[in-house]
Structure 1
Amino acid sequence: MEINKQLQNEIIKKIKEVFDPEIPVDVYELGLIYDVIIHENNSVHVSMTLTSPSCPVAETLPQLVKRKIEELKLINKVEVELTWQPNWNRSMISEEAKLTLGIL
């Protein structure tokens, strides 16, 4: 279980390298990542959303997240699921990101 927690932290670090192009905050701190599940065979399932369905990077942002996670040597397979439930809203933004955006 400790290895899983360490791997999850590494995955989150990689996800934090992906920024929304319109907002100077990474997708994790924006609250766009709903879930990161690591299976026994080190395959990873990420559930994420976007700030809106009409987001101009709807096609590319999930792929960027996937590619960043795939950079980790221990990962066998990555699946990124785009979901709209629950709808994203500003309350999902981390306190750190709210400070960066000046909305706290």
Structure 2
Amino acid sequence: MSQQYTEQEVTDIKERVLTALETVIDPELGIDIVNLGLIYEIEFDGETGDTIVKMTLTTMGCPLADILTDQIHQALAEVPEVKNIEVKLVWYPAWTTDKMSRYARIALGIR
């Protein structure tokens, strides 16, 4: 059974997805992936509940990709509208410390 969400509902769902992703902590840095600026885009299909999380990693050969992907799946299980989750790693634009929130920079001592 498919459901149509209004644009506002989709926006709200994406906000809740982002909030859920704030519980995913980068084990090396001890800061969540949202504040690190690793989440580039969230796509949510209102008909199917399919959710695509486009994200990057701080370094290309980062060994944490699988761990973070598993944690993303666990975190998004808390958002009832989200059905199928796909995590897509993107390398462009490349991640830099500029993408970090002020909170993350302070926590890591980066100016």
TM-score (ref. length: structure 2) = 0.85
Q: When the two structures are aligned, how many residues end up with a matched partner?
A: 104
Q: 1:17 Cα deviation (Å)?
A: 0.3
Q: 1:70 Cα deviation (Å)?
A: 2.4
1:15 to 14, 21, 29: 21
1:54 paired to 2:61: yes
CA distance in 1, matches of 2:93, 2:70: 21
Letter of the structure 2 residue corresponding to residue 100 of structure 1: A
Residue pair 1:70, 1:77 contacting (<8 A) in 2 also: no
Which residue is 2:8 aligned to? 2
CA distance in 1, matches of 2:31, 2:11: 24
Structure having the higher Rg: 2
| SS in structure 2 at match of 1:56 | coil
- Runs of 4+ deviating beyond 3 Å: none
Residue pair 1:70, 1:78 contacting (<8 A) in 2 also: no
CA distance in 2, matches of 1:58, 1:37: 19
Letter of the structure 2 residue corresponding to residue 51 of structure 1: T
Which residue is 1:84 aligned to? 91
| SS in structure 1 at match of 2:98 | helix
The runs of 5 or more residues in structure 1 that have no matched partner are: none
CA distance in 2, matches of 1:40, 1:102: 40
